[in-house]
Amino acid sequence: MKKRIGSIARFAFGILLAAYIIYANRDAFSRLEVSAIHWNLFVAGIVGCIVMTVMTMVRWYVLVRATGLPFTLRDALVLGFTGYSFNFLLPGAVGGDLVKATMMARRQEKKAVAVVTIAMDRILGMVGLVAFAGIGAWFWLKSGGGDERLQVVAQWVLWAIPISVVGIIVMLSKTVCENPLTRWLRTVRFIGPVVAAVLEAFAAYRAKPGAVVAGVLMAMAGHALLMLSLWFLVESMAPGAAPLKLHSLLAPLGLFAGSMPLTPGGLGLLEVAMERVYDYGGLDKGAAVLMIVAYRIAQIIMALAGLLIYKLFADRLTSAVEKPATSS
């Protein structure tokens, strides 16, 4: 009961926060004329956001298969869309990742390993976002951006790339995974099986580094598509409000800040974060809010599609667990 109340409170807080940001930037909406919207760019932006989300599910599929678990691309799409729906639409006590992990674990013998793949996918997704942001920062610096504050931001983003890469290498290294501490942790009651599952997954990724590299590259490509799609959305409603190079530097920072798991789907947080980074960069913050509202339309489409996919395909997922025989 307490968890449900807390989840409803977070959902309500997200709605109120988003409503406040929209109200604070109401002038941007009052200036917007439907007839003036560039619908070709708007539709391209919506479609690009949807394609990017599908790419994240394909990335997860690659990471799961690297561990040797029985898993199909259809499984990844069904579970991915289902988790997306729970994460964005429902103010329940569980997030999308937890729903996805639960549904997958029920059908796998190595349940903990299955859950680790979801965490690994999240980690590589963040590394890909940092890497793409670094590329955007490099291009912006090369273009001679004059704002000293933004130069500092760009330089910090560039430093985040080697830190992230080293972090992944260290995390998966044999030294970290096979030492007296981890061997002892395997024997500890309750946490031992979890530690063993994590190390087993890490060993699989260490044996197949190509899967990890592919995961990072797919994350970078997905975030590049998302940045371009968001730019299409803002350009369709506020032409010239956000130069592409500066948008590519600022938008990843807004997405990162808005990804904190405090409200369902980052509701309210993403609106605030994107408004703030646009304003920090000297851009029209109202245009940023217009962009995120349009992005929410794409998310609602995907969430509704996820509910339909769950209804149609949830009972057709691959299972490595034998069902108990029923007596006739």
Q: Is residue 29 a part of any domain in this protein?
A: no
DSSP codes, 210-255: HHHHHHHHHHHHHHHHHHHHHHHHHHHHSTTSS-HHHHHHHHHHHH
Q: 137, 158 in Cβ contact below 8 A? A: yes
Structure tokens at 154: 């760009």
Residues 6+ apart with CB under 8 A from 73: 58, 61
Q: Is 50 part of a structural domain of the chain?
A: yes
State how far the alpha carbon of 252 is from the alpha carbons of 74, 113, 204, in Å. 29, 30, 30
Tell me if 268 is assigned to some domain. Answer: yes
Q: Does 74 reside within a domain?
A: yes
At 146 the pLDDT is: 61
- Is 180 domain-assigned? yes
Domain limits for position 209: 37-314
pLDDT, tens digit only, all 328 positions of the chain = 666 676 678 778 888 988 989 889 988 888 888 778 899 999 999 999 999 999 999 999 999 998 888 888 999 999 999 888 887 665 544 567 778 888 888 888 888 888 888 888 888 888 888 888 888 788 777 776 666 777 787 788 888 888 888 888 887 787 877 788 888 888 887 778 878 878 888 888 888 888 989 999 999 999 999 999 999 999 999 998 888 888 988 888 888 887 777 777 788 888 998 999 899 888 899 999 999 999 999 988 998 898 898 888 878 777 765 554 444 4
CA distance 81 to 326: 31
Contact present, 260 and 17 (Cβ < 8 Å): no
Is 182 part of any domain? yes
Task: Tell me phi and psi for residue 108, to 5 degrees.
Answer: -125, 145
Quick one: tokens of 313? 């395909």
Number of domains in the chain: 1
Token reading at 152:
């500092």
pLDDT value at residue 257: 80
The pLDDT value recorded for residue 327 is 47
User: Counting Cβ atoms within 10 Å, is residue 128 exposed (0-12), middle (13-18) or buried (19+)?
Assistant: buried
Residue 236 in any domain: the answer is yes
Residues 132, 256, 49, 237, Cα dihedral to 10°: -100
322 inside domain: no
